[in-house]
Amino acid sequence: MIAEAGHYALVLALALALIQSFVPLIGARLRDPALMNVARSTALAQLLFVGASFIALVTLHVSSDFSVANVYENSHSMKPLIYKITGVWGNHEGSMLLWVSILALFGGLVAAFGNNLPLSLRAHVLSVQAWIASAFYLFILITSNPFLRIANPPIEGRDLNPVLQDIGLAVHPPMLYLGYVGFSISFSFAIAALIEGRIDAAWARWVRPWTLVAWIFLTLGIAMGSYWAYYELGWGGWWFWDPVENASLMPWLAGTALLHSALVMEKRNALKVWTILLSILTFSLSLLGTFLVRSGVITSVHAFANDPTRGVFILLILCLFIGGSLSLFAGRATSLKQGGLFAPISREGALVLNNLLLTVACAVVLFGTLYPLAMEVLADFKMSVGAPFYNLTFVPLFALLLLAVPFGPMLAWKRGDLLGVTQRLLAAGVAGLVVVAIVWAWTRGGSALAPLAIGLGVFVIAGVVTDLVERTGLFRLPFATTLHRARGLPRSAWGTAFAHAGLGIALIGIVCETTWNSEYIATMKPNDVAQVAGYDLKLDGLLERQGPNYREMVAQFQVSKGGEPLSVMTPSKRSFTTRGASTTEAALLTRGASQLYISLGDVTAEGAIAVRIYHKPFVLLIWWGPVLMAFGGVLSLSDRRLRVGAPKPARAKQRLQPAE
């Protein structure tokens, strides 16, 4: 009964979404509040039904009901409870159900907490939201139904792909989807604004929290996914530029641009049309990401051609939404009122530069992702675009962006003073150069660009500190006043500071890891000692252990530095009988921000084992950076105040700081 009730709940959600797609629109046209309010209750009911459907699927997975095909194919009765639950979204059908559940969640949130929205805007937003939802409900029910049954249930399931039986999977997809789907709200707002033909600073104020929430989750989701790849895939790499990763990076880049341009719009009533376009593009890229990951087009264009129903369906959704929204934009954008003006050198100008760089970077990634696919389709020629391409294109763009980051928050609104800001950033620049010199003198090894890049990271962080010092008047004013000012500083200003500093920290981590990472690859016998980056790792021996649904071979390493024992590391290889597959469980030892990393290869006939040991200096900074960025986002989100960008009056000559 649970299975069928869950199935029926999904069908009802579709029916409700269809009603929600049209009735409120008609209501908005007729200005009938009752019809417009239908959007609200149907959105909440939709959330209720999809939620019930999702909970039903989780229950089925937990109770190992193999009469449901999806459970049979992706679960096993011996699997630990947590992986029974995470296995729900560890497969195509379940993850799509999670996708729409999150979509319904956002719709429900707008319905429940959108009291500050004008009625017609809320009706329009929820209608657009329901269009997206309807398309995806249909997609799930027709091509990827998780509730299909098997009449004669088998006694045991086929288990989940072992690589996915990991705590990282429990967290990563929901986060990523919260990000992807969260941008649907700003998309819906953009479409609603185009339909209504009205857009202003108030619009930006209403969209801001939703964009921020999506951005926070997407940031964390990408970081989480990268960390998962790092420790689970056994190669110690944390970013591979593969299409699945790019699919999540593109909406992030566009979303970051959107976040900044929406800021300009809220504070200064400028860049309105551009913000609308970015909202559309960001969600389009999210949809594209979903298409790339879910259609099988990435594994091979040919695999996609073999079972095209799913892929073609998503492609159809993609064309419908992207094409439709862009045509609507093309038709209506000219009728939108243009906003405030500003000088090229001003906070607005800096944010335009930020947008420009981010969108170009995004376009580069898009090109790198789609070009190989296009080549495969058109020329039947398989190629991959990897790190060298991005190093030549994406990296310089981002370096330029980082160079500009400290200037932005220090420029005044409307008309800024570049020279003055440069003077004030002098200290930060000097700090960066000093670090460059120190690193250069210290290492002498590795790439010549590495010290420069680290200097850039330090410059970004020092720039943030300079900005904070300026605003609070530290060293200039009595300490008590500084404290008072710091407390009075809007939390969004602190958020900006943290997010920008996170960027610098991540950059330093990336550079250190790629330049000074040392590795040791060898076949080791028990009692052999490996020496990596000053650490001695002695292989004590190999032992076998039995897990719930796997057998694992564990290698035990004694780690010591300078003869002083530090810790024991136990990397292992797990083999899963049901799928006949094995996974590598790397062992990690954290020392400050650096990590030792051991992963196991195959056992040779003589009882020796292939071992890869890495020392990764400051590798954790790569993920602390995004976490800091997300924290900045949370701070900014918690700032419920309205944002006003006070313009710098044209004639006023006094040097005053810009307001946040």
Partner 1 sequence: MTLWFVFALMTVAAIFAVLWPLGRGGRDQNQGSEVTVYKDQLVEIEHDLAAGLIARPEAEAARVEISRRLLAADSSESALAPTSNLKWRRAAAVLALVGLPLLAAAIYVPLGSPALRDFPLAQRERGSGPGMAQSLENLVAQVEQHLEKNPTDGRGWNVLAPVLERLGRFDEAVRAYRNSITYNGESAERRSDLGEAIAAAAGGVVTADAKTEFERAHALDADDPKANYFLGLAAEQDGRKDDAANIWRALLAKAPADAPWRPLVQASLARVGGGGTMPALSNETIAASKDMNEGDRNAMVRSMVERLATRLKQNGDDVDGWLRLVRAYLVMGDRDKARGASTDARQAVANDSERLRQLNEGLKNLGLDG
Residues 545-564 that bind partner 1 (CB under 8 A): 545-548, 551
Residue 601 per-residue DSSP state? E
- The CB-of-11 to partner 1 minimum distance in angstroms stands at 5
Burial 424-453 (b: 16+ CB within 10 A, else e): bbeebbebbeebbeebeeeeeeeeeebbbb
Instruction: Based on the shown chain and the rule CB under 8 A, indicate whether residue 41 belongs to the binding site for partner 1.
Output: yes
In the complex, minimum distance from the CB of residue 52 to partner 1, in angstroms, rounded to a whole number: 8
Q: How far is the CB of 59 from partner 1 (least distance, A)?
A: 9
Q: What is the DSSP string of 124-163?
A: HHHHHHHHHHHHHHHHHHHH--TT-B-SS--SS-----GG
Within 571-610, the residues that bind partner 1 by CB under 8 A are 577
Confirm if 304 and 315 have CB atoms less than 8 A apart.
no
Q: 564-569 and 609-616: which strand pairing? A: unpaired
Stretch that binds partner 1, among 100-108, 168-176, 629-637, 652-660 (CB under 8 A): 652-660
Closer residue to partner 1, CB minimum distance, 200 or 528 = 200
Q: Is residue 153 involved in binding partner 1 (CB under 8 A)?
A: yes
CB of 583 to partner 1, least distance (A): 17
The two three-digit tokens of residue 34, written as one number: 């009752």
Give yes or no for residue 474 binding partner 1 (CB under 8 A).
Answer: no
Binding to partner 1 (CB under 8 A) within 292-351 occurs at 340
| C-alpha separations of 407 from 397, 423, 500 in Å | 16, 11, 11
Q: Which range binds partner 1 by CB under 8 A, 141-149, 219-227, 237-245, 564-572?
A: 141-149
Smaller CB separation from partner 1, 11 or 465: 11
85 binds partner 1 (CB under 8 A): no
Contact flag: residue 162 with partner 1 (CB under 8 A): no
Tokens matching residue 498: 């943290």
DSSP per residue, 200-239: -HHHHHHHHHHHHHHHHHHHHHHHHHHHHHHHHSSS--S-
- Residue 126: CA atoms inside 13 Å, Cβ hemisphere, count? 42
The interface with partner 1 within residues 252-291 (CB under 8 A) comprises 269
Q: Dihedral through CA 115, CA 177, CA 250, CA 385, nearest 10?
A: -170
Q: In terms of CB distance, is 315 or 489 closer to partner 1?
A: 489
Could you write out the DSSP letters of every residue in 499-531? HHHHHHHHHHHHHHHHHH-EEEEEEE-TT-EEE
Question: 412-431: which residues touch partner 1 (CB under 8 A)?
Answer: none
Of positions 92, 122, 124, 574, contacts partner 1 by CB under 8 A:
122
155 binds partner 1 (CB under 8 A): yes
Q: Does 647 bind partner 1 (CB under 8 A)?
A: yes
Site string for partner 1, 479-498 (x = CB under 8 A): ------x--xxx--------
Alpha-carbon distances, residue 119 vs 43, 106, 640 (angstroms): 14, 18, 21
Of 39-47, 315-323, 427-435, 534-542, the segment contacting partner 1 by CB under 8 A is: 39-47
Please provide residue 521's backbone torsions phi and psi, each rounded to the nearest 5 degrees.
-120, 120
Among 143, 149, 242, 404, binds partner 1 (CB under 8 A): 149
37 binds partner 1 (CB under 8 A): yes
Among 21, 25, 66, 593, the residue binding partner 1 under the rule CB under 8 A is 66
* Contact flag: residue 511 with partner 1 (CB under 8 A): no
Q: How far is the CB of 42 from partner 1 (least distance, A)?
A: 6
Which is closer to partner 1, CB of 471 or CB of 612? 471
Length of the chain: 660
Q: Which residues contact 24 (CB under 8 A, 6 or more apart)?
A: 35, 36, 37, 38, 39, 123, 124, 126, 127
Q: What gap in Å lies between CA 20 and CA 249, rounded to an integer?
A: 32
Establish if 12 lies at the interface with partner 1 (CB under 8 A): yes
> Near partner 1 by CB under 8 A, which window of 93-101, 348-356, 460-468, 542-550?
542-550
Cβ 129 vs Cβ 110: under 8 Å:
yes
The answer to whether residue 456 forms part of the interface with partner 1 (CB under 8 A) is no
Q: Please state, in angstroms and rounded to a whole number, the distance separating the CA atoms of residues 347 and 384.
A: 39
Nearer to partner 1, 194 or 218 (CB): 194
Q: Which is nearer to partner 1, 60 or 452 (CB)?
A: 60
**Site residue total, partner 1 (CB under 8 A):** 90
**Interface region with partner 1, contact rule CB under 8 A, candidates 162-170, 524-532, 565-573, 645-653:** 645-653
* 35 binding partner 1? (CB under 8 A): yes
Q: φ and ψ at 585, to 5 degrees?
A: -100, 105
**Closest by alpha carbon to 279, among 350, 172, 199, 365?**
199
Q: Which of 21, 70, 95, 120 binds partner 1 (CB under 8 A)?
A: 120
Instruction: By CB under 8 A, name the one of 444, 478, 544, 592 that touches partner 1.
Output: 544
Angle at 508 between CA 504 and CA 513, to 5 degrees: 150
Other beta carbons within 10 angstroms of residue 585's beta carbon come to 18
Which CB sits closer to partner 1, 268 or 615?
A: 268
Binding mask 170-199 for partner 1 (x = CB under 8 A): ----------------------------x-
Looking at 58, 148, 185, 452, which residue binds partner 1 (CB under 8 A)?
148
